Structure 1
C-alpha cells in the first residue's frame, strides 16, 4: 500500500509541476491522434455511408472484411504499416518511419475499420419512413444524403468517439512505427509502458492520469454536443 500511495503522490506532484517531458508526451499524443482521426474520417465516413446506403456487388464481402478487421491486434496493424513505409517498402521514399506522420497513418489504419463498421450500421438503422418522407419533400442526391447525415449525427459522433478510443489507447502501432523516440514520437501509452518497465511508477501513473483526462474531455465534449442538439 505504501508503494501505491507514494506512486500516486509522486504522480500528482509531477502533474502539478507541469513536467516538461509529460507535456511533450501529451502534445505528441494529441497531435498524432488528431491527424489519425482526420485521415480515418476522410476515408471512413464516406465509405461507411456508401456501405450502409448503397446496394452493389461485393457489398456484403466488404462489410464482412471491415467487421473482421475490428479484432485485428494492434501489433499486426503496426507490422503491416511498417512493411509499407519502411526503407524497403513501397512508400519508403517518403521517410515516414519513426515520424509523427507515420505513426498517425498507422493509427488511422487502426481506427478505420471501427469507423466504417459503426457508420455503416448507423446508416442501415435509419428508419425507411424517414427516407421516404424526405423524398416526398423533394430531397434528392446530395441534399438527401446531407439530410440523412443530420438525422443520424448522434450515431456518427459515437462512431467517431469509438474510433478515437481505439486510436488513443493503442500501444503496438505507436511503438513499432513511431519507435517511442523521446521528445519526438513518444506517446502517453508507449511512455506508460516504458516508465513502468524501468520502475518509475509515479511517472507511469502521472501519464495514465493525463491519458484518462484527455479521453474524458473528448467524451464530455461529444456528450455536450449531443445534449445541446437535443435542446
Structure 2
C-alpha cells in the first residue's frame, strides 16, 4: 500500500489503492471459504467416522463389519457435507448478488443520494467533510458500484463465493479426515484397535482445532481443547453403546 501524503489528491489516491489494488485481497473470500469448508469437513470426517467405527468395534471384532460401517459413514458423510455446504454457500452467494443488484439499481436511480451516502461513510471513517466529498466524487467517477460495495457492504463483486468450491473442498476434506480413523481401527492388531484410534483421532482433532483457530484469528489452545473434548466424548459414548450392545448379544 502506498504512503499517504497531506494533499487531497494523494489522500484520494491512497483510498483508491486501499480499496481496489491490494494484491493479497484478490480472491480472499474464495480462499477463506475454501479453507473454512476444508477444515470443518476434515474435522467432521474424523469425528463422525471415528465414532461409528469405534462404536462398531465395541460391539464386534469382525473386521468386515467395521469396514462396512466405516465406508458407509464415509460416503454418506461426504455427500451430506457437500450438499450442506452447497446449499449454505449458495444462499450466501444469492444474498450477495441481490445486494449488488440493489446497489446497482440505487446508483442508477438516485446517484446524488448515493454520492452523499458515500461521502458520509468516508466522513465516519475520519476524513474531513471536504476530503470525504472529494474522495467520494473521484471513486464514483472511477467505479461507483465497487466503491459502494467495498465501503458500505464489504463486498467485492469479483470475489463472490462459489458454492461448488465449498462443496468440493468439504467433501474431499471429509473423506481425507475419515480415512484416518478407518485406517487406525483396521490396521493394528485387534487388541490395539480402539486405543490407537483414540490416540490418532485426538491428535488429528488437536491439529484441525489449531488450524481452524488460526484461520479465524481465535485462541488456538481454547479451540484445540474444545475440539478434543468434543471428539473424546463422542468416541467414549459410541464405544460404550457398542460395548453394551455387544455384551447383550446384539452386535
Give TM-score scaled by structure 2 length.
0.30
Select the structure that is richer in helix. 2
Return the structure number with greater relative CO, CA threshold 8 A, min gap 6: 2
With structure 1 as the length reference, what TM-score do the two structures score? Answer: 0.32
Choose 1 or 2 for highest CA Rg.
2
